[in-house]
Structure 1
Amino acid sequence: MPEIGAVPPRCVLVLDPAAPRWLIANAAAVLGASAGAAGAAALGPELTDASGARWPAIAEIVVPVLAASPAELAALRAAAPDAGVTALAFPDLAQASPTYADFAAAVARTATADIGVHAVALLGSGNAVRRLTRHLPALTDPVPVP
């Protein structure tokens, strides 16, 4: 993992746009929590609106959300270390495991090539993350099914 100092690393979330909505939402939530725990984001201050209602703090960073196929996601994960970028992955084994212990056991018995990747969060310098992701489109709404 890159050194995380006073300046938070850039964080980009890359998801499989063909995945079911519930899986996209779950992957985004898990990777967002993981990126925050890894130091990618500091919380801003609590806010008060014009009516006096309080708003708890949220992360101060902007997180672009991009789209990539499962093969592209696996390639991003594999290329990240050489680019000096940390790739936090949400693999199919995590989604299928009821506990972290079950997930760990599944990873231990599965070859890298056999682990499908639903999403990745990329953490690193802005330039390094951009070099890996500049060719990817933004995640948009799926085409409606008639």
Structure 2
Amino acid sequence: MCSENQGMPPRCVLVLDPASPRWLIANAAAVLGASAGAAGAAALGPDLTDASGGHWAGIAEIVVPVLAASPAELAALRAAAQEAGVTALAFPDLAQASPTYADYTAAVAGTPTAEIGVHAIALLGSGNAVRRLTRHLPALTDPVPEPVP
């Protein structure tokens, strides 16, 4: 796990391929969010009670920017993060295509790095290190609709 800054949790940024289908973006975000939480990216806030007495389970107390990058940019970002000492949790095509973690493990072991496509990554590290890696990336937005002829 990455080092923490003065007892603060690491900064967490999610970077997704905006050209992926929505279901894949949602799946990648869910898997990487769970992975980042398990890696210690955020503590859950306390449960809450609303003005009507309804109860709400606590959620992560951090802000997670969601940015966009192409698969080639994601692969380069993953490598740059590793060189910078930033944890890069990746959601590669091999994970999406594997029905079990054992299948995923075997697929990764048999595939060279350059042949593994990356759909999304979560970066965990000091705020400065993560910002240096991601400051050039745009926010993930809705795709621009194609004009109707």
TM-score range, shorter chain: over 0.9
Counterpart residue number, 1:14: 15
| Aligned equivalents of 1:84, 1:128: Cα separation in 2 | 8
Note the aligned Cα RMSD (angstroms). 1.1
1:18-66 deviation per Cα after TM superposition (whole angstroms, max 9, x unaligned): 0000000000000000000000010000000000000001000000000
Aligned length: 146
Q: 1: CA distance between counterparts of 2:141 and 2:3? A: 32
SS of the equivalent of 1:23 reads helix
Secondary structure of the residue aligned to 2:130 is helix
Amino acid of the residue matched to residue 88 of structure 2? A
Cα offset for 1:2? Answer: 1.4
Question: In structure 2, the residue corresponding to 1:42 is in which secondary structure?
Answer: coil
Paired residue secondary structure (1:121): strand
| Alpha-carbon distance in structure 1 between the residues aligned to 2:104 and 2:82 | 22
**Hey, which bits of structure 1, 4+ residues long, moved more than 2 A?**
3-6, 143-146
Aligned to 2:78: 77
Look up the match of 1:67: 68
How many percent of aligned residue pairs carry the same amino acid? 85
Question: Structure 1: which 5+ residue stretches go unaligned?
Answer: none
Contact 2:12 2:124 (C-alpha < 8 Å) held by counterparts:
yes
| Structure 1 residue matching 2:44: 3-state secondary structure | coil
Residue of structure 2 equivalent to 1:3: 3
Q: Does 1:38 align with 2:39?
A: yes
Gaps of 5+ in 2: none
TM-score, scaled to structure 2: 0.95
- 1:3 partner amino acid: S
Tell me by how many angstroms 1:4 deviates.
Answer: 4.5
